[in-house]
A and B are shown apart, each in its own frame.
Chain A
């Protein structure tokens, strides 16, 4: 990642002990570490920072907070002021109404853009989307899923799968929408709609399909019992 020196802000560390090698430029902090880089504050058990490459590495129940985003993980690497890579399993990134989970989350704090390359789940007010590869555009409340996409919305009684999907969380839980492409299949209130592309609008439970669409409507009584 290119590190723009002008962008570089002070780096600060508090800990029980800090070792600093001015020749190699390496800092090692241990015990109750608080590491500040840019506007991100990371806490954990141990931390290393390379003053020459501007790369940090915090381990031990790490929590990173920047503005309204919070990232928790077993370990977090920081690259310059705006790039955090959290890994080690059980990584959770939350920001406002969005929540991203996975083994590894690659988070660009300045753009509020995160990638979950090894598969994960994004949760928005309307529901969740699981996929082999996830991208989250947190500012726009939008997420892209690729590979084995599975969308579930309890509130909308929706269960949909596809090869890829773009999920729009809308604002304040309204205007949510999902566009599923590739072997798209959606089940809502027992009705099943398939096609190569499905567009589902969450509020009014409407679905449009293209590419050999097929709709199977569940008999009325089944729908009643479902309600």
Chain B
């Protein structure tokens, strides 16, 4: 092969690498881990299966979502996930395991919307259920709607909608709010 051919191949590799970095690379303060498995052929949508998306903040993991299928829109970087299992990390070192049939990550704000019956269980046994949950990534707050239910030890809190900190310790339920502490679990 001549020198000229070597040069052409090198240029092609550089262009390909740059293109991949542009599609997956994050440009905001929080670094966003590259998807751990190479995509299939580059099409309108890049589909990933059995992969996870990880969010870190100041080098500390905030959350990670695994899903059966992940579809990333290369233009908006919006991500659609199916059959999700997520882990949200609490300040006290604990975790909240979240499952949901489907979800969506906003490519810009990295807010997460989980849908069609979301269930969350914390390592201390606290649970939280709602048809729809939005995790505001900037505020690090959950917003549950459609009829929510939170349990913690012998306390059960229910209502139309819920707002909670990332640790699920400070919870506000509004709309037909009801709380019972002690007595039989409802």
- B183 touching A17, Cβ below 8 Å: no
Smallest distance from the beta carbon of B123 to chain A beta carbons, Å? 14
**Contact status B173-A18, CB under 8 Å:** yes
Tell me the nearest residue of chain B to A26, going by C-beta: B170
Taking the complex as formed, is B59 at the interface, i.e. its CB lies under 8 A from any CB of chain A?
Answer: no
CB of B181 within 8 A of chain A? yes
A13 to B181, CA, bound (A): 9
Cβ–Cβ contact A13 & B178, under 8 A: yes
What is the interface of chain A, defined by CB distance below 8 A to chain B?
A: 8-23, 27, 29, 49, 51
Contacts of A18 in B (CB 8 A): 157, 159, 172-174, 177-179
Please indicate the chain A residues that have their CB under 8 angstroms from the CB of B168 in the complex: 22
User: B158 CB to closest chain A CB, in angstroms?
Assistant: 9
The prevalent SS among residues of B at the interface is strand
8 A-B pairs (CB sep. < 8 Å): A15-B177, A18-B179, A20-B150, A20-B172, A22-B168, A23-B170, A27-B179, A51-B181
B103 smallest CB distance to A (angstroms): 26
Query: Known interface pairs A9-B182, A22-B155, A51-B181. Does A17 touch B171 (Cβ–Cβ under 8 Å)?
Result: no
Residues of B within 8 A of A (CB): 126, 150, 152, 155, 157, 159, 168-184
Q: Tell me the interface secondary structure of chain A in the complex.
A: strand
Which residues of chain B have C-beta atoms less than 8 A from A8's C-beta?
Answer: 182
Cα distance A144–B157 when bound, in Å? 44
Residues on the B chain within 8 Å of A49, using CB = 181
The answer on a CB contact under 8 Å between A9 and B183 is yes
Most buried by A among B157, B168, B181, B182: B181
Name the one of A10, A16, A19 contacting B181, with C-beta atoms under 8 angstroms: A10
CB-based nearest B residue for A13: B179
Contacts A17-B173, A18-B172 known; A10 to B159 CB distance under 8 Å?
no
Given contacts A16-B174, A20-B157, A22-B126, contact A11 B169 (CB under 8 A): no
By a CB distance below 8 angstroms, the chain A residues around B173 are 17-20
| Cα distance, A202 to B126, chains bound together (Å) | 63
Residue of B nearest to A33 (CB): B177
A20: chain B residues at CB < 8 Å are 150, 155, 157, 170-173, 179
